[in-house]
Structure 1
Amino acid sequence: MEMLNNYPSGDMRQTVHEGRDYEMTLSRTLKSALLGVAALGLTVPALADQLSDVKAAGKITTATDMHYAPFDMLVDGNYQGMTKDLFDGVAKQIGAEPVYQDIPWTAELPGLEVKKFDIVIAPVTITPERLQRYAFSLPIADATVALVHAAGNTSLKKPEDIKGKTVGVQQGTAQFKQLQAFGEKLGGVTVKEYGTTDEAYADLAAGRLDAVAGSLPNLAYLVKARPETFALFEPATFGQPTYFAWVLRKDKDSESYVKAINDALLKMTDDGRVKAIQEKWLGTYTALPREVPTK
């Protein structure tokens, strides 16, 4: 009797049996679920990361307008300028070869958005409106808007003298918007848009314009190269101080890439390469913000 009492009754044996079946079924279900998750994981693509993609490809595809001296120029068919010198150093720091493409300015930002390029290295003025849509690198140069006139035109001296005059400027630029606002403040300026600054300079030299508006570095380089043809207003600049930078996509995938670009620029600043490049192309050095300006 005592030995029999050590074993479960018939009802109890049935309950134990059902419990074991349930445990085995649950175990098989869990194993199947885990295998399913593993199998699913094999088909889910890894999270996108632009920096990893660039390093894996071994190249950085860029876009710029190669008609924007001293930043971007074609000399005897060869690309050169301040932008190239800067980005050569950045690309080397990242560990990828730069691929330089000559793209019209009006097609650069739209092309960046649809991922035709990894970065727009044309000097682009940082504005609050653009900051809402794009990520920017650290500033690469001063971009404060300035004015240049024909060297023989002594009637134009200070920026306010452009009232009632015809002034050329590259279309779609921040300098265009600042010129428009300045002209309205003065009481009227005829603004003529150009696809490239070279076209505007040609019309100014030919007497078809009274002045050309652009960033101070561009116009200072122009006057240095052709003092017999062009002269800066005195003072040359008007409006708020602004900066040039490079443009990148503003999304989660690009965050590490943007940081790598900026880290490289900071390293080049700290070891003196940025100063040397500025002095080579601009004849002077301007200390730049170590953070992206937000205003």
Structure 2
Amino acid sequence: MKKLHLVALFTLMALLLAACGTDDESNGSGEGEEEEGTTLYKVGIDTTYPPFEYEEDGEYVGIDIDVISAIADNQGFEIEFSAMDFSGIIPSLQAGQLDIAMGGMSITDERKETVDFSDPYFDSGLTLVVNEDNSSITTMEDLAGKTVAVKNGTTGALHAEEHAEEIGYEVKQFNDSPAMFQEVANGNADVLMEDYPVIAYAIAQNDLGLQIVGDRLNGDQYGIAVLKGENSDLLEQINAGLAELKDSGEYDEIMSKYLAE
């Protein structure tokens, strides 16, 4: 009888220990973390990218910041921003250090191999930018024999690389937009390729010594990204929140706040 009692006691203890070990633990696998009953998602941003993401008085501000914050409020989850170079955002997402990737990120077939995009939230497009005294460049064909500045990891960089051999120009890569702007303003590069809203905002806000020339080079759209095949529930929330922002008029309010003419 004592042996039976001992077996029963050990069995009960084993069951209790097993039950204690079944609680889910938060991790960095792109599934968010539980914080006081609310899921916390880490958002990768590039704060050298106004009007979409930049720092002002110690706070992160911009179109992307307002859009994802409004979506989070609408869908009932929390977010935490992680600022980094744009080229490091997708690798950090792949490494499980981020849950959401932004940064004025154009939706491309190449990026779709790694991430899943939300519905588009902004219509953009690349443009050529030259020194304000330059009147010799207005089209891609004018770039033959020139030096083209681009920001590493962007669609501008991809577009420049794709046409460099065909047209015959040199491509110089930079890690941030201000350095790229300065290179052209100083005459160390002849032209840069940048998303139209970004450079239009920068020129309007600062005396950069630059001007936009020619027609848009493409018709890019920006999307919010999550790791491919890993976070479909979060993507559904993002799309639902974005749709509600547009229906309520809050989306238009955010855009007019930063892009009012």
Place the TM-score, normalised by the shorter chain, in its bin.
0.7 to 0.9
2:219 maps to a residue whose letter is P
Greater Rg by CA: 1
Where does residue 245 of structure 1 map in the other structure? 223
The residue that corresponds to 1:265 in the other structure is 242
Tell me the amino acid that sits aligned with residue 173 of structure 1.
Answer: T
SS in 2 for 1:146: strand
CA contact (8 A) 2:87 2:153 kept: yes
Cα distance 1:75–1:44, how it changes in 2: closer, same or farther (>3 A)? closer
Say whether residues 1:199 and 2:176 are aligned partners: no
TM-score using structure 2 length? 0.83
Aligned AA (1:220): A
RMSD of aligned residue pairs (Cα, Å): 2.7
CA shift in 2, pair 1:55/1:189, >3 Å: farther
1:280 partner amino acid: K
Match of 1:275 among 252, 255, 258: 252
Q: Deviations over 1:149-196 (max 9, x none)?
A: 11111222233222211111011222211112233332x111100001
Give distance in 2, aligned partners of 1:231 and 1:60. Answer: 39
Distance (Å, rounded) in 2 between the aligned partners of 1:55 and 1:167: 50
**Take 1:228 and 1:103, find their aligned partners in 2: how far apart are those partners?**
24
1:12 alignment partner in structure 2: none
Gaps of 5+ in 1: 1-35, 285-295
For the 8 Å contact 1:54–1:96, the answer to whether it is kept is no
Assess if the C-alpha contact under 8 Å between 1:124 and 1:244 holds in 2.
yes
Contact 1:63 1:102 in 2 (8 A): yes
Seq. identity, %: 23
How many angstroms apart in 1 are the aligned matches of 2:53 and 2:208? 23
Give the partner amino acid of 1:258. Answer: L
Name the amino acid aligned to 1:247.
A
Q: How many positions carry a matched residue from both structures?
A: 245
Cα distance between partner residues in 1 of 2:145 and 2:260: 33
The aligned residue for residue 70 of structure 1 is 51
8 Å CA contact 2:34–2:40 kept in 1: the answer is no
Decide whether aligned partners of structure 1 residues 55 and 248 sit closer, same or farther in structure 2, where only a CA change above 3 A counts: farther
| 1:42 shift after superposition | 7.9
Residue 208 of structure 1: how far off its partner (Å): 1.2
Matched with 2:7 is none
Instruction: Show structure 1 runs of 4+ deviating over 3 A.
Output: 39-58
